[in-house]
Structure 1
Amino acid sequence: MTLSSRLALAMVLLAVVTACIVGAFTYYFLAAAAAPHGVAAAIGHAVLTGGAAAVLLALVLAAGLAQSLSGPLLRITGAATALARGELMPMQGVSEIAVLADVFTQLRARQALLEHTVQSISDAVLVIDADGRIVIANAAAKRLLGVDLSIDIQSTPFRYLLSDGVTRAPASSSPLMRALRGEDIDDMEFVVEARATGVRENVAASARPLRDEAGVLCGAVAVVRNVTEQKRAYQALIDSEQMAQSIVDSALDAFVQTDDSCVILDWSPHAEALMGWTRAEAIGVGVEELIFPEPQRAVHRQWVDRFLSEASADATGGRYETALRHKDGHEFFAEVSLTALRRGDRFIVNAFVRDITAKRAAEEQLFQAQKMDSVGQLTGGIAHDFNNMLTVITGTIEILAEGVQDNPALAGIVKMIDDAANRAAQLTANLLAFARKQPLRPLKTDVNALVEEVVKLLLPTLGRQIEIETVFGEPGWPALVDRSQLSSALVNLAINGRDAMPDGGRLVLRTNNVSFDPHEAAANGLGAGDYVVIEVADTGAGIPAAIRGRIFEPFFSTKQFGTGSGLGLSMVFGFAKQSAGNIVVFSEEGKGATFRIYLPKAHNGPSPQMAAAGDEEMHGGNETILCVEDDDFVRDLVTVRLRSLGYTVISAPNAAEALALVNAGTAFDLLFTDIVMPGNMNGRQLAEKVAGLRRPLRVLYTSGNTFGVLSSNGGVGEGVLLLAKPYRKADLARMVRLSLDRPIDHVGDPIPMPYSVLADVEGFLKENPPKG
């Protein structure tokens, strides 16, 4: 019989017994009321006996039923208690208990699934009851917060801080306690710090209150997530963005960001400074319309389209140069460096823009300087070889002139040849000047006085239709310059100015003093320092911009063929450069031209004295001269000339043979050597080796082009004597005699001769006039 049948039977029996007892007593009372006393007593006795028997029977049946019901109920209670402990007790017997067992099994399975789910959650899960006791804490909660079911929420091994990481968080402000007060908490951030180690973790918690069916608060649940790594990654992202923005803002180049349609998305402060447009004006505008000149817009768009079509999924870059337009309308050259970043199916284009206008100008100047230097090397080499030939030609002409001096017809022909040789010599001198290879003798020079002398020479040359004006800066600094070369340069510039004014005009020669800092000096192709400036300005037709960059090139001329060699300005250019200065030109068509020569200021001190030229009478001697010359024709001619002057000549074709003669003990009074020679030794090196073998040594150098052997700055060098090719017999005789006669010390250096200090005293008084 099932437990429910037993309970039903017990209820029926209880009802029957109760009905019998009630019926018996009812009958007793009714019979007693109607019957005599004796009969009533008998009836009552019978009724009581039957009722007692019925009660006894009911008690027996109830005891049996209770015993049959108590066993299953005890087993159900035990199973429920075991289920509360997480255990499952098997139940057998009546079918209802088996059903309950199935229900308990299902409940235990669901409870295990729920516990497993909570434990497997990577975030910490905490549940507290109404008294704040922890009733659920998963493994993540134990790891992160150090809590379990044995402690309450306020007894953890952690300190709790607010999200600033400094302010201590009271227990009442924790998400669970606030949820226990009925609040809903979402993503509240705070910091937990282990008391033992001091290790901190950033966490974010969400909490909700728990209510029973009646709506009464019975606890709270919280989910706590460790966001330390996310915070670090987010902070790293912020730092990276800030760093990138800082780089963009502090970069010397302008930064412009556009989409693949060339619409501006970002515009840095340097972009504002470079191109004039503010950020507010630039954002959202097409970059072509904003900063590109009209002819460059289509070119830029084509370039960007090709650039993006070749871009890969990774960042890719490119660079090009273009003309850009400032807000005020002026154009400048810029170098644009592009980087394309793919964003989905579109591109973001980052561009750094650098103004290269000055760089381009510097590159053009460098290219021009390299071109001029290359041409200078070529012309210098040609002039050197040509001067050797001219030395032979001029020497031969002099011999011919001596032989035909009694024949006027032949003497006239020789004179024509001599004039042509002189013109050729001047041509090579101009070539060497351009090539910066001519030997200079820089002296402390009063530029104002020299200009006055040049003007006196120019007055009859330029003609009456040219008005000459001089403007001198006061006080005028002395310049360190070769006087004869400066005079030639000024004459060349003046003649060019006259030719630019065929109908007359005004020529102004102006002097001034300037001091340049490194930036100003670089802009003028100079080093920092003090300079004397000489301007030659005309009011002629001016120089077209198309040819302005070529006017200093050798053989370039705008004059008609046959009216100019094209070497005048190139000679001036080379002379100024070799003098550690420069020449610049300012000109516009129809507004004349101004040439400005910069020369270094001479330091205070006595002016070096040039060797006296002496008279034109040739003096010879009987000394012995060691002549070293690699050109056979020149060597033969010089040998003949020196012997005709009475000298004994020992000749050598190169430095090696000359040194062998010295080592062999050959006696001589003067070493007369060419500077540029084939082999491992030049003339300067030969002189140094010979000076080491015998002292004192007298040396006279000769060359058609020194190639900087004597001095790195193109000068001859203090105390050095040089006979430049081509030279005449009179020049040869004078320089040889000077080399032999000037006093030298025990090592061969010249002994300074007394000189007049009058010029230096006058110069000092001019610079420092007496007061009062």
Structure 2
Amino acid sequence: MTQTLNADLEVIFPGKSVMAQQMRERDWTATPLGDPCLWPDGLKIPLRMLLTSRFEMWLGWGDDLCFFYNDAYVPTLGIKHPTALGRPFHEVWSEVYADVADQVARVRAGEATWNQALLLLLERSGYPEETYHSFSYSPLYDESGAVKGMLCIVNEETERVIGERRLDTLRRLGMNLVGATDRSQVREAVCDIFAANRRDFPFVLLGLASGERIEITGCTPDVGNMGDIEWPADVIGTTGTLAIALDVDRSWPTGAWDIPPREALVLPIPGTADQSPFGTLILGLNPYRRNDPEIADFARLIAGQVSGALGNIAALDAERRRADRIWLHSRDLIVVVDAEGVFRSVSPSWEVVFGYPSEEVAGRPFADFIADEDLGPSTQALAAALADGDLTGYENRFRTRAGNYRWISWHTAMEGGLVYAYGRDVTDQKESVRALAAAEDALRQAQKMEAVGQLTGGIAHDFNNLLAGISGSLEIIERRMAQGRTEGLERFLKGAQSSAQRAASLTQRLLAFSRRQTLDPRPTDINRLVRGMEDLIGRTVGPAIAVEVVGAGGLWPARVDAAQLESALLNLAINARDAMPDGGRITIETANKWLDERGARERDLTPGQYISICVTDSGTGIPKEIVDRIFDPFFTTKPIGQGTGLGLSMIHGFVRQSGGQVRVYSEPGEGTTMCLYLPRHVGAVDEDEPNDTSIAASGAGETVLVIDDEPTVRMLIVDILEEAGYASIEASDGQSGLKILESDTRIDLLITDVGLPGGMNGRQVADAARIFRPDLKVLFVTGFAENAVVGNGHLPPGMEVITKPFVMADLANKITDLIEGANSAR
């Protein structure tokens, strides 16, 4: 029977905790609660939870709220443990029951309550003690649903609340003392702080030495004339921390409490270095925090802060007097700065340079005068100077009274925890250096323009040859047609077209150098493009050089301008050929590359997936001293007349515009590898379409507005439109074209040059037209390729671009695609 009873009690009071053991041993039948085996689940269930929890918890049950608690709650009870077990709640905490009685009533009505860091004066140590607790009261129910008890989960926060209060006092005292320049300001700062915190010290008396006397001041009005009390000499003159009993017959200020302090703490305000104490602090002690082990340390921190402020003032006074004697006639700046960045003293020359009298500067932090951008670096420089890292020629900017800034070059030395700095105004010298740099930049620009001028001669020669081929062919065609001779004209037509295409290619190369070409990126099968160039490259480099193409299996596509990529690969192959005058081998290899953060950083790219195309030769290699210059415009190692130095620069510009990067790997005598890295395109690759130059009559009378300031270009476009079955309207500039667009005239497509005269470019016309024609289709035609104007390859839907010169069939196909796309959307 006993074993069964014990087993039942271990279920009701589970665990091996002290309180579980005591509850099992308690004779509950002698209490109003009776046999535990007959207790309702409404009590037993939360009781088991309480005993197995490591959180502070107690619960009360029945009309008197019979008191149960766990081991975690024992420190809160103090001397009330273990007699509190089973007693009514109002008896256990009789001293604070009135503070929570209203909450108990609310819980009995079924409402839960919560308290955050509530002040409770608990008598757990034999006297009322300042404590703070965060706790909740929750109702407990019996089987009928009636409230029969309550559960309290509590967390004592006394140390946190008091610790944060004292830290806040120290922080605010330190802030109040910053910038104090005399003893009255120190006294005011101390009294302001302790008037706001009267729990730790119900009253504070501050005594400051004045000659042989100590002048004692009360920090709050209720102190009255206590400063006139004749304190014993051994108390006022104490060299250590002294606790004294207060006369119970005197009426002491109570501060935040309802009873006066019984004791006071007396301690000196230490002097700095070998100086005598600056004074004495008398601090009335909290009557509800007896034998506080941390109060003396807290008081000494306060005295230390006050000492530091008074020491700063004494040192500042001494430095001011010394500065008046030594620095009166110096035209350079001489300052003394402490570890907090406060000017202890500045020479009178500060007013000469900046317009501020020295007395307005001393005692203030240098942050009040320095340029905002220089504050952070100058603070770090001060820290270095304080660590015996003397500064030499350190420059920063200080603001003058007029609001402008002067550059100062500083030299420093540190002694006794202070930085002594000598500064010279170097503003005029820096202006001279800046002017010299501007002149040098202008010279470099002039040299660049000279190089461009030298390049122009060769370009003009090429263009003249091409123009001669075009104009000569057209002249022969015109003469023969006038004579009625039409046979053999195809040869001259093809000659003119070939010259025009070569001129367009040269223009694109120049635009690539200037980084202004409009690219036409499309999803491209890189392996197919490289294989398609293998024969061309082989014929270009000649029979003495073997060409090998190694295409990676499963190569990802890239979104790139295929024509520009072909041109880049051909240029790389020609460079490789020139590096192998006696023959050799060129290998073109493709690969998939997944670059992590490190690999991408080494290649100046963002991490991700890329396709690499590497052209490797077995030639002479590139000397290390010029590897970093090979992508510079006009840089070449070839003899005059054999290279412009634009090839690699244009390749680099094209690849960077495509979102990739070029990297070179070379060893003198071992050959060179040039790798192009292009971002992977996720998606399908467009299949090649046959080159059909015919123009289909696909139009159904739709109207196209053509804006171009060049009459010949307008004539060609209008002719194509008529041949394709479209109606056309012409305009020579943006303003006149916009007027047509603002009218009710039907416009199915706008074709506009990008560069238009009269203040509106083609993109501006299109954007303005889309305000009132939001679905307007637009085809930009450009010969100058203002890439930024037409969106850097990212045009809105319904806008496309074609570059002059263009194949007429390509223009007709773009027109048809745009118009048919618009019709299908309707």
TM-score of the aligned structures, taking structure 1 as reference length: 0.47
Higher relative contact order (CA 8 A, sep 6+): 1
Larger Rg: 1
- Could you tell me the TM-score, scaled by structure 2's length? 0.45
